[in-house]
Structure 1
Amino acid sequence: MENSKKHPLIEDYGLIGNLNTTALVSKQGSIDFLSYTRFDSPTIFGALLDREKGGFFSIEVECEQVNHKQLYLPDTAILLTRYLTNVGIAELTDFMPLEEEENQFILVRKLKVIKGNLNIRVELRPRFEYGKYEFNLEQEDDHLVMRSKGPEANTCHLLCNLDFKMEGASLTTEICLSAGDEINFALVSANTEHSESNKSKSLEYYANQSFENTIHFWRNWTNKSTYTGRWRDIVNRSAITLKLLTSCRYGSPIAAATLGLPERIGAERNWDYRYTWIRDAAFTMYSFLRLGYTDEARKFIAWIQQRSLEIDTAEALKLMYRIDGTINLEEVTIPHLEGYQGSDPVRAGNDAFNQFQLDIFGELIDTIYLYNKNAEPISYDFWLSLIKFIDYVCQHWKRKGHGMWEVRDEKREFLISKVMSWVALDRGIRIAENRAFPAPLERWRQTRDDVFNDVFNNFWNPELGAFVQYRGATTLDASALLIPLVRMLSPKEPRWISTLRAIEKELVTDSLVYRYKLSNGASDGLSDDEGTFSMCSFWYIECLAKSGQLEKAILCFEKMLGYANHLGLYSEQISLNGEQLGNFPQAFTHLGLISAAHQLRLLLTQDKMS
């Protein structure tokens, strides 16, 4: 057990959240990551990045041999961790009641002994500001207050009926429980309000009532999904994960729950993904729309409309924001954290927000097109703000940038930037025609044709028999898999079929797909290779299905399901030894899974009908 504390695996965690922030709970029942109290806030628990300095909240059964099992209550974000021993069984229930305000935070932990007599040890070691500050302990009425020693004096309140003591820089308690015994813990932010009626209730009453309310919320939400049939459980789990990563206040989804988890152990690809990328958010909304969740799409449309109203020119649109739409994302390193398994530096913030990435306009306009078509009509005022984005693409589609993978070396004319420029123009034309909105359609159509011809002729490498990563390149990029998925080329187009074969030869290992390979001549400004990129695997599966290789696509899809962790969650990448790498869980991977399942189910249904 001691070894697992020092060297946790990324995939050994479950996710809980309240639609304002999230926490990771290990198989052993330790909360080892929590941004407090918002997705992009500094952590209060960060043992995943540094066991000694990061902070955690652990509940352990003290027994020589403990077998741990973890599962979600079906169709909810309520996590159960079971402790199975030769002398007894205990069950821990972790969840966050849903709160509308981002500074209203409650985390509930319910521990019950199912069988036997068990010794329980609880240790609470909060570390404020990414592990920088320890805490002073104060007693207030019926709860303990942990107050940061830092200048901000942040606080966290613990409600529990057990007696805790200070042990070094931790709060600890030990207790023997028998079958049927149950203890409750509530971790609460200082400004979380409780109604007068609740103040007179016991902690046990509150924990049980909020448990019922949380089950009710999640099952009601899951029941709104229009997805039916094969793979429904895993699609629902991915949808719940995307929902957990989406702000209920702002409607903006983050890319992943964590910062600093490496794309390669011991290397430098360790980024902060707790922000709203225009690209990732657009793909997320596409997934929600496919599942019938129009409310989520509606809130994001309102969020992006606000961003468009705040800027005078399209060039001022950033590729990522904080969830509230602000852009103070300066990247800093956290020197006192050693990083996951020694992978440093640990970075907070993300300097990529200042990059130019032309493709974001295509993903954004495509999502708005789908929303206008399948959910509800956009307003004319919103259309006027979109015109500046489409016109910008018209004028700047040849501009060099950093591409969708945010390379940190020289700017280039990336293939994916051209493809998504074509998408921005094509979908803009379709919206204008569908709604009879005023638009310079002749100019847009001419530019759309110019972009198409440029891609078809100038990004084709006849020696490789493939479309290449950027103009003049001799390397491949898995983002080319989007070409048939966005309907720029038919999946039966000869040049596309040839490209698919080339990608299979160079970037695919069974069902695992690399974005690109530095060892094959690609360059991104960093020296180390990375793992396979799971979203690209799901793009590959869709491409197989669309090209008529349905059985192969289904086989690859079901193999990819085997790379999920024990709860159906995925990080960003997978190493060739099967280990999950990168920030966790990753929205990109889960929305890719949803899209692939949707496509496979659609084609299976058509096969049955024919």
Structure 2
Amino acid sequence: MEQQPAISDYGFLSDSRSGALVGKDGSIDWWCPHRFDGASVFGRLLDPRAGHFKLAPVGVGGPGFRVERAYRPDTLVLRTVHHTPHGSVAVTDALAAEIGARAHELGRNSPAVLIRVVEGLSGRVRMGLDFAPRPEYGLLTPYLHEQADGGVLARAGPVVLVLRANGLQLRAGRDRVTHEFEVSAGQVVGMDVAFGEAYGDPPVRMDPVAMLAETTRAWEAYRETHGYSGRYPELVRRSATVLTGLTYARSGAVAAALTTSLPEQIGGDRNYDYRYSWLRDFSLTMRALWVAACPDEASRLFAWATRSIGRIGDEPVPVLFGVEGERDLSEHHCHQLSGYRDSRPVRIGNDAWRQRQLDVPGEVVSAVWRLRDYLGATFEEELREMVLGLTEQVAATWHLPDRGIWETRDEERHYLSSKVSCWLTMDRAVGLADRLGDRADPGRWARVRDEIHDTVLREGWNDRIGAFTGAFGSAELDASVLALPVTHFLPATDPRMRSTIAMVERELGTEEGLLRRWTTDPAGFLLCSFWLVECLVMAGESKRAEALFERVVGYANDVGLFSEQIDLATGAQLGNIPQALSHIGLINAAWRLTKPDSY
């Protein structure tokens, strides 16, 4: 069986409804057209038999072939140039925006159309097309029907796809469409794949060349509404564009990643579905959007959070939701898929939604505090009730054990980062009390805040190793303790924090600047590496922080995308891609280098 490409080989396309991955070899190997967390129609990413749509010069990968690619500035429109012994050709890929969409309208009513435009640059290049959709994560092989306009309709289960190519008469094989054609310098061939539901409206029909131009303008208009005045502006703008691409525009929710089950270790079983929206990411996302001058996103994202959480009772607030606020994301295995390079199981859904993770309320309340000036002097009822409910829940439960920020699937513990986030909830709630109405109780909240602070300093510090550790009573280091200075729980210049930062860097770090989450973690975790950058800045070591930042950003792929982790032996990307937290970490670290004292 053929081996899937490297994770870093993929470029990311988005219409802010769904996303697709296209490899350097010209194959689109992942597309869930209904929405980010829907079923795939192309799933070669997780099994070579699970569908793809390849468009590339015949013989690509042989002697004399070379590929270079780049996004059009401030867009997720990807242009790949294939140089061959016979000439050069460009393939430009995008997921179509709605006609006329501009700025914050991007993605609200995306038509679910994949656009591919071929342009001859020099010589004469023979192109090959291989269209093999396999809906429902590869479970279905569609019937293919030739159309009068030269296209091919694919129909199976709930899915209808129509492939069309300007000027080409496509022929349907038994289970795929294959076609070869030549492109000369100056010649343009546009094609598209339009998605529709079997019992809904038919797939949209459009001119792919005109729609590509329209989609490019939509992305450019979106980015023109935002500005950034800090350091590393190109990197920050690219990461902000990726976050926009991971935003489900209809609700405002940000998916943690585009993919499911890309492994933390090749052949391992820590393969999770990240196509949902984590409340943990909430504060970090809001801070990143604020840094990247995108505060207009705040209202939609807060509205999604309040509706998803609903009225708060005694049960722990769920950790994650579907992109339209679904709560039950029960996990199951796709046994028909072999997994990325035989990394099983392939998971759909994520059982972390059932866990108690006490850091979650702090992330949300902190985000409200950060964006308070955009939310009005008096909060609307649902927002007010959410903040009050989260605060009171933390006041009642902060002393309990939980699963922690890394969502362990063994026993609960008293994780230090969770307690710090509980402190953050109470501290920020005190700061918001004047906007929360008569039920606000800042005096009591302040007493709980101070009790949590004292407990963390007493129980979280380990005299024997001279550092704050991952859990109370533990001697195990954990990179999540870097949250103490980042949240301003304790200054980075405090002797205990200096000692902790040095210990974490020495025991969990690598010469290349990567930071593992714990001592047995097999890979470097990019977010932790960016946290270390922030801590070094706050400790007054800006030059060292800058050097570390520049080493870490070097792990991005050729078009600026980060997955979740980096293989320590090879430097290869691991985990789901593109990973929102990695790009959030970059934005926040760049801002910390710009404004060391920023909250």
TM-score normalised per structure 2: 0.93
Q: Residue type of the partner of 1:515? A: R
Q: Which residue of 2 aligns with 1:608?
A: none
Range that drifts further, 415-424 or 103-112? 103-112
Deviation per CA, 1:536-585: give whole Å up to 9, x if none: 00000000011000000000000111111001110000011200000001
Q: Which residue of 1 aligns with 2:184?
A: 178
Contact 1:288 1:296 in 2 (8 A): yes
Task: Give the distance between the partners of 1:493 and 1:544, measured in 2 at CA.
Answer: 12
* SS of match in other structure, 1:44: coil
Establish whether residue 532 from structure 1 lines up as the match of residue 532 from structure 2: no
Q: Which residue of 2 aligns with 1:347?
A: 347
What does residue range 159-238 of structure 1 map to in structure 2 within 5 Å? Answer: 159-161=164-166, 162-190=168-196, 206-238=207-239
Q: Which residue of 2 aligns with 1:595?
A: 588
Name the CA shift for 1:551/1:604 in 2 (closer, same or farther; >3 Å): farther
Task: Give the distance between the partners of 1:223 and 1:464, measured in 2 at CA.
Answer: 50
Identity rate, percent: 34
Q: Which residue of 2 aligns with 1:447?
A: 448
Cα drift, residue 15 of structure 1: 0.3
Name the CA shift for 1:583/1:377 in 2 (closer, same or farther; >3 Å): farther
Q: Which residue of 2 aligns with 1:367?
A: 367
Range that drifts further, 486-495 or 131-140? 131-140
Task: Give the distance between the partners of 2:121 and 2:94, measured in 1 at CA.
Answer: 19
Number of equivalenced pairs: 580
Q: Which residue of 1 aligns with 2:325?
A: 325
* SS of match in other structure, 2:254: coil
**CA RMSD of superposed structures (Å):** 2.1
Task: Give the distance between the partners of 1:165 and 1:367, measured in 2 at CA.
Answer: 53
Range that drifts further, 375-384 or 471-480? 375-384
Range that drifts further, 206-215 or 130-139? 206-215
Q: Which residue of 2 aligns with 1:6?
A: 3
Establish whether residue 483 from structure 1 lines up as the match of residue 484 from structure 2: yes
Q: Which residue of 1 aligns with 2:20?
A: 23
Name the CA shift for 1:414/1:603 in 2 (closer, same or farther; >3 Å): closer
Establish whether residue 572 from structure 1 lines up as the match of residue 574 from structure 2: no
Deviation per CA, 1:160-193: give whole Å up to 9, x if none: 2322233452111111221122111111122697
- 1:122 pairs with 129, 153, 165, which one? 129
Name the CA shift for 1:364/1:499 in 2 (closer, same or farther; >3 Å): same
What does residue range 78-477 of structure 1 map to in structure 2 within 5 Å? Answer: 78-99=77-98, 100=107, 104-142=111-149, 143-148=151-156, 152-161=157-166, 162-190=168-196, 206-308=207-309, 310-313=310-313, 315-373=315-373, 376-377=376-377, 379-381=379-381, 382-433=383-434, 438-477=439-478
Cα drift, residue 21 of structure 1: 0.3
Cα drift, residue 603 of structure 1: 4.3
Q: Which residue of 2 aligns with 1:57?
A: 53
Task: Give the distance between the partners of 2:192 and 2:314, measured in 1 at CA.
Answer: 46
Deviation per CA, 1:256-308: give whole Å up to 9, x if none: 00001000001101110000111113321221122221222210111112134
Task: Give the distance between the partners of 1:407 and 1:554, measured in 2 at CA.
Answer: 32
Task: Give the distance between the partners of 1:378 and 1:596, measured in 2 at CA.
Answer: 32
Task: Give the distance between the partners of 2:201 and 2:296, measured in 1 at CA.
Answer: 27
Contact 2:359 2:419 in 1 (8 A): yes
Task: Give the distance between the partners of 2:431 and 2:597, measured in 1 at CA.
Answer: 29
Contact 2:145 2:153 in 1 (8 A): yes
Q: Residue type of the partner of 2:372? A: N
Name the CA shift for 1:230/1:435 in 2 (closer, same or farther; >3 Å): same
Contact 1:469 1:477 in 2 (8 A): yes
Cα drift, residue 347 of structure 1: 0.8
Q: Residue type of the partner of 1:585? A: P
Contact 2:480 2:528 in 1 (8 A): yes
Task: Give the distance between the partners of 2:216 and 2:378, measured in 1 at CA.
Answer: 34
Task: Give the distance between the partners of 2:355 and 2:317, measured in 1 at CA.
Answer: 11
Task: Give the distance between the partners of 1:72 and 1:548, measured in 2 at CA.
Answer: 36
Task: Give the distance between the partners of 2:110 and 2:161, measured in 1 at CA.
Answer: 12
Cα drift, residue 376 of structure 1: 4.4
Cα drift, residue 312 of structure 1: 4.2
Contact 2:379 2:436 in 1 (8 A): no
Task: Give the distance between the partners of 1:377 and 1:62, measured in 2 at CA.
Answer: 62
Q: Which residue of 2 aligns with 1:504?
A: 505
What does residue range 34-73 of structure 1 map to in structure 2 within 5 Å? Answer: 34-51=31-48, 53-63=49-59, 64-65=62-63, 66-73=65-72
Establish whether residue 494 from structure 1 lines up as the match of residue 490 from structure 2: no
Cα drift, residue 592 of structure 1: 0.3
Q: Which residue of 2 aligns with 1:582?
A: 575
* SS of match in other structure, 2:127: strand
Name the CA shift for 1:147/1:515 in 2 (closer, same or farther; >3 Å): same
Cα drift, residue 229 of structure 1: 4.8
Task: Give the distance between the partners of 1:604 and 1:457, measured in 2 at CA.
Answer: 26
Task: Give the distance between the partners of 2:446 and 2:140, measured in 1 at CA.
Answer: 58
Contact 1:294 1:375 in 2 (8 A): no
Task: Give the distance between the partners of 2:22 and 2:326, measured in 1 at CA.
Answer: 29
Deviation per CA, 1:74-125: give whole Å up to 9, x if none: 1111101110012200000001122455673111100111111111110001
Q: Residue type of the partner of 1:212? A: A
Contact 1:38 1:102 in 2 (8 A): no
Cα drift, residue 357 of structure 1: 0.3
Q: Residue type of the partner of 2:117? A: K
Name the CA shift for 1:229/1:193 in 2 (closer, same or farther; >3 Å): farther
Task: Give the distance between the partners of 1:564 and 1:300, measured in 2 at CA.
Answer: 27
Cα drift, residue 481 of structure 1: 0.5
* SS of match in other structure, 1:282: helix
Cα drift, residue 598 of structure 1: 0.7
Q: Which residue of 1 aligns with 2:101?
A: none
Name the CA shift for 1:435/1:327 in 2 (closer, same or farther; >3 Å): closer
Name the CA shift for 1:296/1:267 in 2 (closer, same or farther; >3 Å): same
Task: Give the distance between the partners of 1:229 and 1:390, measured in 2 at CA.
Answer: 33
Deviation per CA, 1:312-348: give whole Å up to 9, x if none: 4163521111001112311111111111111111111
Cα drift, residue 141 of structure 1: 4.6
Contact 1:466 1:495 in 2 (8 A): yes
Task: Give the distance between the partners of 1:603 and 1:359, measured in 2 at CA.
Answer: 24
* SS of match in other structure, 1:311: coil
Contact 2:230 2:591 in 1 (8 A): no
Task: Give the distance between the partners of 1:569 and 1:19, measured in 2 at CA.
Answer: 17
* SS of match in other structure, 1:287: helix
Deviation per CA, 1:30-70: give whole Å up to 9, x if none: 1011112200001111111111x111000120144321111
Name the CA shift for 1:223/1:386 in 2 (closer, same or farther; >3 Å): same
Task: Give the distance between the partners of 1:94 and 1:103, measured in 2 at CA.
Answer: 16
Contact 1:262 1:582 in 2 (8 A): yes
Any unmatched runs of 5+ in structure 2?
99-106
Q: Residue type of the partner of 1:517? A: T
Q: Which residue of 2 aligns with 1:563?
A: 555
Task: Give the distance between the partners of 1:503 and 1:106, measured in 2 at CA.
Answer: 47
Range that drifts further, 221-230 or 12-21? 221-230
Contact 1:311 1:317 in 2 (8 A): no
